[in-house]
Amino acid sequence: EPEVTQTPSHQVTQMGQEVILRCVPISNHLYFYWYRQILGQKVEFLVSFYNNEISEKSEIFDDQFSVERPDGSNFTLKIRSTKLEDSAMYFCASGRTGGDQPQHFGDGTRLSIL
Amino acid sequence: QKEVEQDPGPLSVPEGAIVSLNCTYSNSAFQYFMWYRQYSRKGPELLMYTYSSGNKEDGRFTAQVDKSSKYISLFIRDSQPSDSATYLCAMITFGGSQGNLIFGKGTKLSVKP
């Protein structure tokens, strides 16, 4: 069964450094998402992406964050200058269409900021 | 008032029991409802996806939606130790929004052999 894959599974970074999280969505999906889950808290929406542009973003997704689909298969989340509070699990998801189709998640990247 | 409320548990049941997991929500614009299962250190895995009020069955799992009461449930029959995980409800509004699933906090379930 097709799945969303994310790399790396764990990323350790010094505060202030840039980090790029990578995702390969399911191949025939057109909508891509990033969510995060701080330890012990809810899964929270960050951003949705369709047709090579951001469709929607949350308050969390400030100027330090950016997303890109550099080629036909990868979808990346960049955090420009990491903060301690960016430590979380980051999940990529994809969906065949927009809100009326379910989103399928990868296993996440655990980001640890030191 | 939080948009989606879910009792975090933990919930512990013996193998073979029927499990009932619930979420309430406040936003009547939510139209699509999902249940995800999340094992430790893994991503949410889609279990059930529903739109209409009523029941939807898939194997040992039944999802129930009551839009008039803003209440959704997931029932697990003949629960197995492999069902031990955190169960997340999630919902989304219809149209307009391109994403933005709203999750409950998750209920941690433990099924004892």
| Cα angle value B62/B64/B69 (rounded, 5°) | 165
Q: Tell me if chain A has a CB within 8 Å of the CB of B36.
A: yes
pLDDT interval class at A71 (50, 70, 90): confident
The predicted pLDDT at position B98 comes to 54
The predicted pLDDT at position A104 comes to 94
What are the beta bridge partners of residue B19? B76
The Cα of A102 is separated from the nearest Cα of chain B by a number of Å equal to 7
Which chain A residues are closer than 8 Å to B44 by Cβ?
Answer: 43, 91, 105
Measured CA distances, A109 to A7, A38, A81, A114 (Å):
7, 12, 17, 16
* Chain A residue set in contact with B, beta carbons under 8 Å: 4, 6, 31, 33, 35, 41-45, 47-48, 50, 55-56, 58, 91, 93, 95, 98-100, 102-108, 110
Q: Tell me if chain A has a CB within 8 Å of the CB of B43.
A: yes
pLDDT tens digits, chain B, 113 residues: what are they? 568 999 888 999 999 999 999 999 998 888 899 999 999 889 999 999 998 889 999 999 999 999 999 999 999 999 999 999 999 999 987 655 556 889 999 999 999 99
The predicted pLDDT at position B31 comes to 87
Tokens of B85: 């995980």
B68: left (phi over 0), alpha (psi -120 to 50) or beta: alpha
Report CB contact under 8 Å: B103, A103: no
Which chain A residues are closer than 8 Å to B58 by Cβ?
Answer: none
The predicted pLDDT at position B36 comes to 97
Report CB contact under 8 Å: A108, B43: yes
pLDDT tens string A16-37: 999 999 999 999 899 999 999 9
The predicted pLDDT at position B95 comes to 58
Q: What are phi and psi of B10, to 5 degrees?
A: -75, 155
